[in-house]
Amino acid sequence: MEMPIVNRCQAETCAYNRNQGCHALAITVGDRRHARCDTFFTDSVKGGDPGGTGRVGACKMADCRHNDQFECQAPGITVGAGESGADCLTYDPVYQTA
């Protein structure tokens, strides 16, 4: 299985973000309650591999339709502004709360 790619990251203040691209080797999504990018953090120094593209290493959002045994099965994701800095905008819960 190949890890899904981070197609676009709109969290421009993230230390791994360069020109809306994620350059972390792999990110983790979620804390079981919220689909945030757990890898997001700010720093004055940019990190990651500038020639690489970030991928989804793990996803803790078991209720997402793209999740299979805590592995993301989406072909790619988008990360963007959310409740707590940077969220997986591809998150699609199987069960909608009313």
> Tens digit of pLDDT for each residue in 52-76?
999 999 999 999 999 999 999 999 9
| Alpha-carbon 68 to chain mean position | 16
| Alpha-carbon 95 to chain mean position | 20
Beta strand spans in the chain (E): 5-9, 17-18, 21-22, 27-29, 56-59, 67-68, 71-72, 76-80, 87-88
Which token pair is 67?
Answer: 């999740």
Query: Is pTM beyond 0.85 here?
Result: yes
pLDDT on residue 96? 63
Q: Name beta bridge partners: 6.
A: 77
- Dist. CA 27–CA 11, nearest whole Å: 13
